[in-house]
């Protein structure tokens, strides 16, 4: 075991202890003892500057640090009954249904509940990774894929989803490795082959996001990340709900198949209102899509281009 792995483990354990203090689950004497233990561990293993150490660690070790070791402990050592596994299956199926309805947060909650009842089931972690990806939390998606592989090292879909998460983080070198392993396990899966090709293209273009915010323009850009982060703004959510209640918009949406100009009118109206509601989001869209914005869309001059986002497989049954 290398020193870096030991440090990663200690940092994870220290993180668990700090969370216990933050949650105020301990009395004052217990908190004092835990704080002393934290100081001793950080000093003994030279991990006292966790934020700086994290910034200089490799991407793989940074992802490792996201794993909740208490969750791993529970998964490895808590015994579950067959009845609980059946209940977990029912809850998982409900989560899958919610994913198909694009209710990703609700699906995530169901996968969390299912894991409590059947914590050694790799499918549950892999499905939860899909929910995290849809919600834009790609670091947690990577962690869940790794947990799935703890219980099934030959789980191709876990490698595939890990590749998607790394791609969304603009870590295309790690995505490539994950896709290659997925293809090795499932050679007939065309999605993995397509996603590998995209990752290799990004690497060839120098799009590996070193020193840039994940998904930002300097890292190759990720439109999904920008939209997900912006839509978390209550003002944007209100704007979109109001927009979809506009009779002109709903009428145009219903007729766009036979009248492309109506759809273009919707785009222009959407852009104008979006510019009023959130100029920063519109500027982000311009930066990511550049010349690929539709004609007459503010900041866009060329016809739409084809996308090359990784393909997300459906939840496991």
Shared domain for 197 and 223, answered yes or no, is no
**Residue 112 sits in the same domain as residue 233:** no
**225-283, pLDDT tens digit by residue?**
545 555 555 555 555 666 566 666 566 556 555 555 555 665 666 666 655 655 555 55
pLDDT at res. 103: 95
**Separation CA 179–CA 136 (nearest Å):** 20
How much is the pLDDT for 276? 61
Q: Residue 301: pLDDT above 50?
A: no
Considering the domain architecture, whether residues 46 and 132 belong to the same structural domain is answered as no
- pLDDT per position as a tens digit, 60-105: 455 555 566 776 666 566 566 778 889 999 999 999 999 999 999 9
pLDDT of residue 180: 96
136: nearest Cα among 212, 211, 229: 229
Computed over its alpha carbons, how large is the radius of gyration of the chain? Answer: 22
Q: What is the mean pLDDT of residues 46-51?
A: 62
| CATH number of residue 26's parent domain | 1.20.5.420
Establish if 133 belongs to a structural domain.
yes
Q: Report the pLDDT value the prediction gives residue 18, as an integer from 0 to 100.
A: 84
The count of C-alpha atoms lying within 13 angstroms of the C-alpha of 47, restricted to the half-sphere facing its C-beta, is 23
Domain that holds residue 20: 3-57
Q: What does the pLDDT read at residue 134?
A: 95
What mean pLDDT comes out for the span 107-117? 93
The pLDDT score that the predictor gives to residue 137 is 95
- Does residue 125 sit within a domain? yes
What is residue 267's predicted lDDT score, i.e. its pLDDT? 63
Q: What is the Cα–Cα distance from 281 to 230, expressed in whole angstroms?
A: 7
Same-domain check for residues 94 and 38: no
Does a structural domain hold residue 64? no
pLDDT of residue 92: 96
Looking at residue 45, its pLDDT comes to 85
pLDDT at 155 (0 to 100): 96
Is the pLDDT assigned to residue 202 strictly greater than 60? Answer: yes
CB crowding 80-115: b at 16 or more within 10 Å, else e:
beeeeeebbbebbebbbebbeeebbeebbbbbebbb
Q: What is the pTM of this model?
A: 0.50
Tally of structural domains, the chain: 3
Q: Convert the pLDDT of each residue in 128-184 to its tens digit.
A: 999 999 999 999 999 999 999 999 999 999 999 999 999 999 999 999 999 999 999
**Higher pLDDT among residues 110 and 55, named by residue:** 110
Is the pLDDT at 312 greater than 90? The verdict is no
CA distance 65 to 156: 23
What CATH number does residue 104 fall under? 1.25.40.10
- Inter-CA distances, 313 with 134, 208, 224, Å: 11, 23, 16
Asked whether the predicted pLDDT for residue 195 surpasses 80, the reply is yes
pLDDT at 298: 45
């Amino acid at each position: 075991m290398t020193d870096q792995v030991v440090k990663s483990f200690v940092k994870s354990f220290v993180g668990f202890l700090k969370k216990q203090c933050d949650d105020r689950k301990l009395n004052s004497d217990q908190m004092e003892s835990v704080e002393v233990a934290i100081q001793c561990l950080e000093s003994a293993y030279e991990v006292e500057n966790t934020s700086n150490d994290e910034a200089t660690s490799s991407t793989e070790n940074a992802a490792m640090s996201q794993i909740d070791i208490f969750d791993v402990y529970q998964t490895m050592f808590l015994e579950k009954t067959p009845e609980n596994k059946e209940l977990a299956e029912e809850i998982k199926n409900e989560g899958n249904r919610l994913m198909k309805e694009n209710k990703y947060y609700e699906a995530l909650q169901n996968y969390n509940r299912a894991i409590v009842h059947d914590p050694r089931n790799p499918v549950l972690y892999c499905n939860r990774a899909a929910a995290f990806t849809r919600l834009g939390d790609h670091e947690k998606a990577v962690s869940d894929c790794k947990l799935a592989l703890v219980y099934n090292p030959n789980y191709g879909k876990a490698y595939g989803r890990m590749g998607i998460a790394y791609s969304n983080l603009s870590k295309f070198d790690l995505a490539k490795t994950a896709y290659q392993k997925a293809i090795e396990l499932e050679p007939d899966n065309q999605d993995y082959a397509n996603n590998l090709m995209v990752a290799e293209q990004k690497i060839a273009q120098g799009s590996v996001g070193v020193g840039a915010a994940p998904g930002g323009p300097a890292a190759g850009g990720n439109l999904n990340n920008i939209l997900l982060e912006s839509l978390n703004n209550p003002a944007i959510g209100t704007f979109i709900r109001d927009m979809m209640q506009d009779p002109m918009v709903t009428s145009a949406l219903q007729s766009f198949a036979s009248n492309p100009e109506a759809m273009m009118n919707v785009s222009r109206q959407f852009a104008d209102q979006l510019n009023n509601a959130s100029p920063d989001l519109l500027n982000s869209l311009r930066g990511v899509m550049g010349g690929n914005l539709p004609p007459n869309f503010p900041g866009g001059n060329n016809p739409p281009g084809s996308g090359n986002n990784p393909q997300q497989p459906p939840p496991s049954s």
